[in-house]
Amino acid sequence: PLTKRQKLSAHMEEAQCASCHRKMDPIGFGMENFTASGKWREKEGSGRRTHKINPSGKFHNGPAFKDFFELRELIASNHQDDFARGFTEALIEYGLGRPFGFTDEDLAQRIMSTAKDKNYALREFIHSLVQAKEFQSK
What pLDDT, on the 0 to 100 scale, is given for residue 44? 87
Reply yes or no on whether the pLDDT at 84 is more than 90. yes
Q: Are 40 and 68 in contact (CB under 8 A)?
A: no
Rounded CA gap, 35 and 44, in Å? 9
> The pTM is what?
0.69
Residue 126 CA to residue 9 CA, distance in Å, equals: 38
**Cβ atoms of residues 125 and 115 within 8 Å:** yes
Angle separating helix axes 105-117 and 122-131, nearest 10 degrees: 140
- Read off the pLDDT of residues 18-72 as tens digits, 9 standing for 90 and up: 888 888 899 999 999 999 999 999 998 888 888 899 999 999 888 999 999 999 9
Q: Average pLDDT, stretch 80-93?
A: 96
